[in-house]
Amino acid sequence: MGASKGQKLSGMQKQVLSLYRGFLRAARSKPAEERRQIESVVSAEFHRNSKQVDRKNFLYIEYLLRRGKKQLDQLKSPDTIGLSSVNVGSSKKQNADT
């Protein structure tokens, strides 16, 4: 999705950055060790996608955004401490029954 080099941000890029910010904010509310772990996984995942996903592949990026938002909602729950809910693959998780 193209980590940009300083030119004007597109609407979609803003959404991605906003989601990223949301994850980092959510991580702040977790205990220190979990926070570090969440930050490193989230950072790696966003950077990986920014390099691998074609910046014109809007459908896929929109899908990733939707998936990310769901995962972020789960992460925000005070019951979620770990990363299993943030993990790649599936967005079903861990504290689905809370």
Partner 1 sequence: MALRAAVLRHIRLPVQTLAATGSRPQPQLSFLRLFSSHDDHLTKEEVIDRVLDVVKSFPKVEPSQVTPDVHFQKDLGLDSLDNVEIVMALEEEFKLEIPDKEADKIDSCNLAIEYIYNHPMAG
Residues that bind partner 1 (CB under 8 A): 3-6, 9, 13-14, 17-18, 20-21, 24-25, 28, 43, 46-47, 50
Nearest residue (CB) to partner 1, 5 versus 92? 5
CB of 77 to partner 1, least distance (A): 21
Provide the angle, in degrees to the nearest 10, between the axes of the packed helices 32-52 and 11-28: 160
Q: What is the DSSP string of 17-44?
A: HHHHHHHHHHHHTS-HHHHHHHHHHHHH
CB of 46 to partner 1, least distance (A): 5
CB of 23 to partner 1, least distance (A): 10
Tokens of 48: 């990986």
Nearest residue (CB) to partner 1, 4 versus 84? 4
Length of the chain: 98
